[in-house]
Amino acid sequence: MDDRTEFNRLYWHSRRGMLEIDVMLMPFTRNHYPDLATNDQEAYRRLLDCEDQDIWEWLRGFKLPDDQALAHIVLKVRQASGDLGVAQSQQ
């Protein structure tokens, strides 16, 4: 599978059907995923395999995943989405 096809598959897999998740994941995939380090790209793909309810709780900041790589990518998504709480806590 070529890179463009893989990216398109990933982009549409980012569309979860829950608006609150979609508005964070789809722009992140389009605007940030291509520039992520390989290990962050892998973590993002694993994030997409998680249950929507878990993803929603993580992206809203109610809790973080126990897996450090997933927690790191969740924080990146939140920061890219303009979550000021993440931006301030990482300064």
Question: Model confidence over 52-86: pLDDT tens digits?
Answer: 999 999 999 999 999 999 999 999 999 999 886 76
Asked if residue 88 has pLDDT above 50, the reply is no
Domain boundaries, the chain: 3-89
Out of 1.10.150.250, 2.102.10.10, 2.60.40.420, 2.30.30.100, which CATH number does the structure's domain 3-89 have?
1.10.150.250
Q: What is the pLDDT of residue 12?
A: 87
Which residues, 6 or more positions from 71, have their beta carbon under 8 angstroms from its beta carbon? 58, 64, 65
Q: What is the pLDDT of residue 91?
A: 40
